[in-house]
Structure 1
């Protein structure tokens, strides 16, 4: 029997790993544990309550609230490195063959790689192969992706471009590379009841490069203020975004309604009702793609080219062109689809095959 350790720290990681965790729990071929890094501790714990069965949880943190400031991040990293990397004691039983599953491109992804190596586990990198082809864009996500894929044993991707990137980069290695039909996020979305409530614009912004610059934040808010002339703006704020708005003493116009983040299911309902979504989030881009929503991606480029269609516009931070896109009335019939197979089941079948 193989031991599976999911190393999870962020909201997106918990959401995308949950279907795979539940599929693992349906089979008796694996022992499943969840290692919680504590990065988004309050949010992750709520999401992971939805596992189909009770799961052993390993906590590698001491904070009780989400990590949302640079100071908190530094303390969190030092605590983790000293207690779980430098100390000689291990946190796993190596009697069975073990696999540590890490997801994406966050600091928790990188820590999961280190933790898995420390405990002599094979590493599976989920959502591997994404790249901007520019080392420092986005920062630090692109660097983390490259490091984690280089030192992982199994690489799971979701589209042909990512598969090509991995196959080219690691053509002479012994890595196991597998493309599955869709991103596991498709298994978390109820695609029904996609009825639009006129003139609602749902907004998120959280990428480091977009929130650490006062100039960029002010430009984004000015853009939203213009959008508010035709739409009701509902901006759901990540904690780091709140922190930088406060740090820069930025006053958000009353035309823009501010909200805390919602539970995932409730947020999906808000996306469904929205006439337009404005976001810099990769996971939200994917959700909007599957839901067939009219979406502005507030970035210069996106690594998720597989999650683009005619209803989506990569803004390049061009407010004028973005406003033109919003005002265009045409909504292409590119509604989402449900994969005939479960991406999570495909991953498990592949692991049974190679192990």
Structure 2
């Protein structure tokens, strides 16, 4: 049996590589189709795939896409190729996409166009409405509607899929595959300065100048005794420049860095006193690692119940007083690392094969 993984972003590779590795060790023929949305970030991740597999570069692209114009050009190029070129490799084979990105949407179109069996990993995430958290919400709904198999973890996600009236086969797993992803990284506790990590990239934040100014105001209140590192996504850096904020005096004690490889970044998180982020993936990682984290969002569609008891996360709601209180009391919400006894990736693949 040939199993295909259609991926494009860093997060998609991170969350599917454990499943890819398990498929290879289970003697399935594995093909990774790379849409090249984040080629610079994913090149080091691909090296974590163990064993023999086929790598198919769907299009030529050597640079991470970080502008809206670049994203539009990349999307149109992929659509043109999907429409005008048949890919027989998909025909009647299982083909897996992940999440709610443009790569997810384009991958789904590619698979269905070529008569593949579309599998959506991490299906049924929270849905506030098509035009709220756009385009992620739209992609979640659209791809779920057209999937033959939907892999979800938790009652909330399954109920969301049922509310949408999906026709595909819903497969429940015990937890998110990010638990397996963290096991791929050698985490090392280092005695260091009082480190703080910042990572912000969601469109509803970076496209709102007032929101970014408020964030900088919050950051400026971090005590000078902390060493603060902000790892900048390309769109975030571009927006800070366009708002004339990147040289703001409020960032005088903040070191700005480009993104670093996943292993290095995860070790930075692991050794942080606290983290400020708006990204779902980083939120999940900090929750599992038990790192106190200020989630820079007004709401979080908490399908995985990350904000319940024994959580190291605090939702900022863009509230200055709440954020400042977090800086004073973050130690109170630090937790131990959460351990998953079984492998969600193994569970997902085994149940998927059983359901055919």
Assess same fold via TM > 0.5: yes
Q: Which residue of 2 aligns with 1:89?
A: 86
Q: Shift of the alpha carbon at 1:248? A: 2.3
Q: Which of 178, 181, 187 is matched with 2:180 structurally? A: 187
3-state DSSP class of the match of 2:300?
Answer: coil
RMSD: 1.9
Q: Which residue of 2 aligns with 1:336?
A: 337
Alignment length, in residue pairs?
Answer: 348
Is the CA contact 2:230–2:257 (under 8 Å) kept in the aligned structure 1?
A: yes
For 1:249-328, list aligned pairs within 5 A: 249-250=244-245, 251-252=247-248, 253-304=251-302, 305-309=304-308, 310-328=311-329
Q: Which residue of 2 aligns with 1:120?
A: 115
User: C-alpha separation between the residues in 1 aligned to 2:35 and 2:354?
Assistant: 30
Q: Which moved more, 1:3-12 or 1:252-261?
A: 252-261
Q: Which residue of 1 aligns with 2:134?
A: 139
1:134-180 deviations in whole A, cap 9, x for unaligned?
Answer: 3222121111111111111111112221122123333xx54211221
Does residue 18 (structure 1) correspond to residue 40 (structure 2)? The answer is no
User: C-alpha separation between the residues in 2 aligned to 1:232 and 1:88?
Assistant: 51
Moved over 4 A (4+): 190-198
With the length of structure 2 as denominator, give the TM-score of the two structures: 0.92
For 1:131-280, list aligned pairs within 5 A: 131-170=126-165, 174-190=167-183, 193=188, 197=192, 199-229=194-224, 231-250=226-245, 251-252=247-248, 253-280=251-278
After superposition, the Cα gap between the structure-2 partners of 1:232 and 1:342, relative to the gap in structure 1 and judged at 3 Å, is: same
User: C-alpha separation between the residues in 2 aligned to 1:299 and 1:247?
Assistant: 22
Is the CA contact 2:197–2:229 (under 8 Å) kept in the aligned structure 1?
A: yes
Q: Which residue of 1 aligns with 2:104?
A: 109
User: C-alpha separation between the residues in 2 aligned to 1:126 and 1:259?
Assistant: 31
> Gaps spanning 5+ residues in structure 2: where?
none
1:78-102 deviations in whole A, cap 9, x for unaligned?
Answer: 111112x2214325263xx401111
Q: Shift of the alpha carbon at 1:319? A: 2.0
> Gaps spanning 5+ residues in structure 1: where?
none
User: C-alpha separation between the residues in 2 aligned to 1:8 and 1:267?
Assistant: 21
